[in-house]
Amino acid sequence: MLTCIRGSRLIDPDRFGHLSEQSSSDVKDLWFCDESIVDPPVNGETPDLEIDAKGCVVMAGGIDLHTHIGGGKVTLARMLLRDQMPPWREGLPHGESSPATSHFLPSAPTTASRYLDMGYTTCLEPAVIPCNARSAHAEMADVRGIDTGGYCLLGNDDVLLQLIAEDSPQEVINAYVAWMLMATRCIAVKVVNPGGISAFKFNTRSFDVDTPHPKNGVTPGQIIRVLSRAVHEIGLAHPLHIHCSNLGVPGNIASTLATIAAADGYPIHLTHAQFHCYGTDGPYKFSSAACQLVEAMKKHPNVTIDVGQIQFGQTVTISADTMHQYQNTRHAKPRKSVLVDIECEAGCGVVPFRYRRREFVHSLQWAIGLELFLAIDDPSRVFLTTDHPNGGPFTAYPHLLALLSDRSLRETALAEIHADAAAASSLKGIEREYSLDDIATMTRTAPAKILGLDDRGTLAPGRIADVVIYREQDNIETMFRVPEMVFKSGRMIRKQGTCVNIDLMTQPDRTLAVDLNRAEIDFDKKLIADFRARYAKHGTFALDRLWIDDGEMEECLGSRLQPAGLRSPNNGASA
């Protein structure tokens, strides 16, 4: 199947230069054959499908590097809120065609549909607990039409904490991290409140970067240092994905800056940074510290972030950070919650939450997120997330892009929030407006690079033909909410918001995972035997039960493994 998209402007700054450098007549054709983008034929070959895209722009499929779409925490949230959520009602929500939909916590198939409707084709689940990896992959396999992957959650598991406490050689830490990645079929490593989830189980209620663990004496700074080094030395493309200490606590910017220092220059990615960017100034003892993080990023090029922008309205917060979810239970709306101790690996807290536009703290949180987006001038170092569903649903992305692209719209929205929060924010004085190039970099090119997804995120020949056609218009929100067409692996899957090629939704999608055999990582049998013995002593089942093999992924869990996530040799891979 040879397809040609004619007469559009192709937005891929790395390949075609910036859109501002193109004239209105500088249009190009994009060709793809079957699943891959190809060079234009030189022999005048006629395409099987020709699409007139005059007045449109074309981008690669969107990539969301942090969205909670699978696993036990999502299931617990649906169970907790079953009395409120449409999937368990007989009636249909207003304007919806299926009962299995929810504004902020949709079912897996509805999640896929809403992402595809916006032009997103790849989504990453950022918190896969090893003992629950099968469940997470099984649920993500139901997000049909979307390629998925997960981040293995480490840093609160007893085995790793023991190894660090014993001052084990870095090579031993590396072997443990590598084995867990392979066993769980994940693409990256994440740490949540390093050591804090474990410390919470010993009745610790506050835990900072230099606080010793009450049992083993390990500090979060040590955990960050050894894990960031392990991730780098193993050769993973994505840096250690860090949920910092003291989420949501006024003054937590000090912990965030200490986290950056603890990495000792190794690459790190700070996730939902808006929730870790608070000072204690002003009459409310709660202030924006966005400028401090921005300045720190200028000094530390090893740091990237995603924002975790909040949206006003009802949502539910789900996190492995039981310490801070426990503190948030007093703010639950409605007043109920779930806190779970998961084996000896981590935890889980589910707390419903409602962000109010006229609440000072919530209004300032909203402004802080936008400050980060706009003050960090390199769109390849800041990524579009709402930490779905924690800050709000991912369906808010088109509106967020409009706020970033239109200063007048932003100022109108700023005038509608709590007056004291608006006065305390620097947002009003920021003139910057995102261009379509910035948007393409932040949501396509940069996520692909930082995740080691060499086959997507760009319109270059040889890449997967995940392609989106947007009708160019002044209203950015409308433009990005309903693309003209969405192609997944070269096949049209959406047309003006309508699902086409339904049979494609029944085919197994790809699970993006590292294959460390390709990186020539040897698993020392003696080390694995030691890990096995430690796990047997402190866990509740055998270590080997964590291992998910290729056949199980496809035949039982319903997804095809695709190797990804390693740094390429020209980017300094140590493998």
CB 32 within 8 A of CB 51: no
- Average pLDDT (403-413) is 97
CA 220 centroid distance within chain: 22
The residue that leads in pLDDT, 77 or 18, is 77
CB 244 within 8 A of CB 208: no
Provide the pairing of β-strand 491-495 with 498-499.
antiparallel
Rg of the chain over CA atoms, in angstroms? Answer: 23
The residue that leads in pLDDT, 299 or 516, is 299
88 has pLDDT over 50: no
The residue that leads in pLDDT, 232 or 501, is 232
CB 355 within 8 A of CB 315: yes
25 has pLDDT over 60: no
The single-letter code of the amino acid at 442 is M
Tell whether the torsion through CA atoms of 164, 165, 167 and 172 is positive or negative.
negative
92 has pLDDT over 70: no
Question: What is the residue whose two structure tokens read 């922008």?
Answer: 309
Give the number of other CB atoms < 10 A from CB of residue 494. 24
Those residues whose C-beta lies under 8 Å from the C-beta of residue 84, and which sit 6 or more positions away, are: 334
Q: pLDDT confidence of 24, banded at 50, 70, 90? A: low
Residue 320, phi-psi category: left (phi > 0), alpha (psi -120 to 50), beta (remainder): alpha
45 has pLDDT over 70: yes
- Average pLDDT (138-150) is 94
The residue that leads in pLDDT, 419 or 516, is 419
Residues in the chain: 575
Identify the burial level of 571 via C-beta atoms within 10 angstroms of its C-beta, where 0-12 means exposed, 13-18 middle and 19 or more buried. exposed
Q: pLDDT confidence of 53, banded at 50, 70, 90? A: very high
Q: What is the pLDDT of residues 348-393, one digit of tens each?
A: 999 999 999 999 999 999 999 999 999 999 999 999 999 999 999 9
CB 66 within 8 A of CB 243: no
Those residues whose C-beta lies under 8 Å from the C-beta of residue 11, and which sit 6 or more positions away, are: 19, 57, 58, 59, 436, 437, 440
Element (H, E) at 25: none
- Average pLDDT (569-573) is 48
- Average pLDDT (285-295) is 98
Instruction: Report the pLDDT value the prediction gives residue 575, as an integer from 0 to 100.
Output: 28
Q: Write the DSSP assignment of 149-163 as a string of letters.
A: EEEEE-SSSHHHHHH
Q: pLDDT confidence of 539, banded at 50, 70, 90? A: confident
Instruction: Report the pLDDT value the prediction gives residue 21, as an integer from 0 to 100.
Output: 58
Residue 138 per-residue DSSP state: H
User: In whole angstroms, what is the distance from residue 379 CA to residue 307 CA?
Assistant: 12
Q: Is 562 helix (H, G, I), strand (E, B) or coil?
A: strand
User: In whole angstroms, what is the distance from residue 378 CA to residue 366 CA?
Assistant: 21
Q: Write the DSSP assignment of 71-104 as a string of letters.
A: SHHHHHHHHHTTTTSGGG-SSPPTT-S-SS--SS
